[in-house]
Amino acid sequence: MAVVHIADIVDLDRYPLHSPDSQRCQALLRNGRECLREESLFVLPGFIRPGAVGRMAVELEERLPWAARYEAMAGSYLPDGAEWPPGHPRTATHLFRYHQVLNYQIPNDSPLRSVYVWEPLREFLRQLMGYDTFHRSECPHLALTAKLAGEGDTDGWHFDGNDVVFSVLLQAPEDGGEFEYVPGVRSEREENYDAVAGVFAGEGEGVRRARLCVGDLNVFQGNHTLHRVSPVRGGRRRIVGLFSYDRLPGTNFGEPYISRLRRDTPGVTALANT
């Protein structure tokens, strides 16, 4: 196995996360916390070096024939067990369609995995989020994953089930595929369904568009921030790597989404039906 040097992958000159006490690192943390407070989004431009980004994109695109194909009309919220009247935002569904390369399909010596398992990144993100504990997810399917979106593929409006998502844009499409979000539209105490319904109706109140470039690390609070990826246009796929962490150790993702992915993963279909 080739020896991986993290300095060849992450721009350590700009982001010296291996020196957490450095002035630069402390300034990044201060700036990041402020961005998350005000915008629910903190972008670290050029976090991954251009050469490594290209290798990651090729490695993932090579795995497309074995990737799970997700294609469904789905809701924006995790089910809460209650009955909601027709027309309520909790009953609205949106199109979600993309290929997803699963954790176990990404090689152990993949540069993307080398970033995910790099301890200084986990520790930096823990401090950024202000959590006492912060663990990599242990989900065999989704701890580390990538979404590949071709013509017409999209993520519909949704809130994430976990607190925060860390993504790296690895390849931009020719057009579309933009990350759109409405920061702080809901909070622990206030669901603000009227504002959510307004966004669904296309009124666009408060909708922002992240200006992401390939190699950027995007730290994003998706539990309170409604977001989507607009439909991709053109022949070049949008590719993002997604890193999952949790405050609790030993976490997995929920079974409904996993069994749906397994059902639509080439070669796993037979197993999923047993």
Ligand X SMILES: O=C(O)CCC(=O)C(=O)O
* Nearest-approach distance from CB 13 to ligand X, in angstroms: 26
Judged by CB under 5 A, does residue 75 bind Fe ion? no
Q: Which is nearer to ligand X, 25 or 179 (CB)?
A: 179
* Nearest-approach distance from CB 157 to Fe ion, in angstroms: 10
Question: What letter would DSSP give residue 48?
Answer: B
Q: Which partner, Fe ion, ligand X, none, binds residue 229 by CB below 5 to 8 Å per kind?
A: ligand X
Cα(96)–Cα(223) distance, integer angstroms: 18
Residue 129 in contact with residue 190, Cβ under 8 Å?
no
Report the C-alpha dihedral over residues 202, 95, 153, 260, rounded to 10 degrees: 150
* Nearest-approach distance from CB 26 to ligand X, in angstroms: 28
Q: Which is nearer to Fe ion, 59 or 155 (CB)?
A: 155
Q: Which partner, ligand X, Fe ion, none, binds residue 167 by CB below 5 to 8 Å per kind?
A: ligand X
Q: Which residues bind ligand X (CB under 6 A)?
A: 147, 155, 160, 165, 167, 179, 227, 229, 240, 242
Residue 8 in contact with residue 53, Cβ under 8 Å?
no
Q: Which is nearer to ligand X, 120 or 176 (CB)?
A: 176
* Nearest-approach distance from CB 68 to ligand X, in angstroms: 13
Residues in CB range of 116: below 8 A, 6 or more apart? 136, 143, 144, 241, 243
From first CA to last CA, the distance across the chain in angstroms is 36
